[in-house]
Chain A
Amino acid sequence: MAESARNPDAERRINEHLEAIDKELAAKGVPLTERRSVTGDVEAQIRDMLAGNAGNTPTAADVETILRKLDAPESYAEDAEAAPVAAASLTAPTEPPRLSRTALIGAAWGALLFVTLAIGLGTSYQGTVAGMPLCLRILTIALLTSYVSAPFGATILGWVAISQIRRSGGRLYGMGMALATSLFYPLLALDAVMAISIWLPVAAIATWFSPNINAHPLKYLFIAFDLVSAAAVCAFVDYRIIRWVWRKVNFAKNGATTVAAG
């Protein structure tokens, strides 16, 4: 049907009907994408019925006749109310929810760096590499491997765990652990960049203030200012990022929570 052939009153009545359906479904917490799908199907049906009954230029009265044959918008709310019960019974978890193994492995992998770092610091070896005992060589390789792999492995597993928990429909929990694992190393890297970005101008100002700043009594004031401002900026930015990601992973577009956060 050509756009120009449409009657404004008829269009307004169709839109009112579709909006009323959308409102009823929204009130029952139906996501936006599903609401659009439903109203799209209803509109297509109305247009088909009008084309069959009223020809090319349907009037508001023609639309009214068609709408009387259709379900009232309130019926959509009644059906939406009953449907989640049926859907939930089909997908209801038969086992109690369990902690996400991926999140757990990711967190353990991330923590491995600090464990091996502690072992490395507690091990003192003064000899040459060639004369290093086998067990110490193995330990060194393990240390290097964990240093390199932990930030990447933990971050990737963290995001995989978030995705699995979101899709599990409540069968998995541990969103907090997964989020911490996925964000820890990226935020650490970001904090380092921010700290350096703050350190460099403060150091430049300190040198401008006194070329021999290391011997100046105000040296510690500059250091304290640097540390406090870097810590404050890092804490603020980290908090905002964590809060934003937490909301993104825990809430659907329509505002409904997607999973138990755990």
Chain B
Amino acid sequence: MRVWLAQMRTGLVEPCVLAALRGGEAYGYQILQRLGAAESLGISESTVYPVLARLAADKLVRVREAPSPNGPARRYYRLTSLGEARLAEMVASWRQVESVMNGLLKEAKNG
């Protein structure tokens, strides 16, 4: 994978996961399914699960275990207030980046 793409993807996993949890509590596989739209970014379980573990360690998400009908207990993740604040911060930054990029692309197209 090209370096710039890997870096962009790495930077986007955390906001994508936090944004997926804005829809409510979910377990790992459910979060992956919610992120189905982000498949083009190459976000899969090997990126999402470690990020979830890190977010839990940083107290940005809260974890609750509940029995699963298919085997071991599922770990349900929920945004904490700290996580919501981090997501708001990320969304604001994203809007700025998006605006700058759109401006630059528009200039390039017109120029």
Contact = CB atoms under 8 A, between A and B. Distances in A.
A45 B50 contact: no
Given A33-B57, A41-B29, A41-B75, A83 B51 contact: yes
A228 B13 CA distance: 63
Interface in B1-34: 6-7, 10-11, 13-14, 27-29, 32
Interface stretch (A71-79, A148-156, A187-195, A210-218): A71-79
A75 B47 CA distance: 8
Q: Most B CB atoms within 10 A — which of A49, A51, A76, A82?
A: A82
A43 interface: yes
B98 interface: no
B53 A38 contact: yes
Size category of the A interface is 20 to 34
B71 interface: yes
A54 B6 CA distance: 34
Q: Most A CB atoms within 10 A — which of B27, B28, B54, B71?
A: B71
Contact of B44 (A37, A47, A71, A80): A71
Interface in B40-88: 44-47, 49-54, 56-57, 63, 68-75
B38 to A, nearest CB: 14
Report whether over half of chain A's contact residues are helix, strand or loop; otherwise say mixed: helix
Given A25-B50, A38-B49, A45-B29, A82 B68 contact: no
Contact of A40 (B7, B13, B72): B72
Contact of A43 (B10, B32, B69, B72): B72
Interface string A69-94: 01100011011101101110000000
Given A37-B75, A43-B72, A48-B29, A75 B46 contact: yes
A64 B28 CA distance: 21
Contacts of B70: 1, 44, 47-48, 50-51
Contacts of A47: 68, 70-72
A41 B69 contact: no
Contacts of A37: 49, 52-53, 56, 63, 75
Contacts of A41: 27-29, 45, 49, 52-53, 75
B57 A79 contact: no
A260 interface: no
Contact of B14 (A34, A44, A75, A86): A86
A82 B5 CA distance: 12
Contacts of B51: 83
B10 A70 contact: no
Contact of B54 (A48, A78, A87): A87
Given A44-B29, A47-B68, A38 B74 contact: no
B76 to A, nearest CB: 10
Contacts of B32: 45
Name the 3 nearest CB pairs between A and B, nearest first. Answer: A47-B71, A41-B28, A71-B46
Interface of A: 1, 25, 30-31, 33-35, 37-38, 40-45, 47-51, 70-71, 75-76, 78-80, 82-83, 85-87
Given A44-B73, A44-B75, A85-B10, 14 more contacts: A25-B50, A30-B50, A37-B56, A38-B49, A40-B73, A42-B49, A44-B68, A44-B71, A45-B29, A47-B68, A51-B70, A71-B46, A75-B46, A83-B50
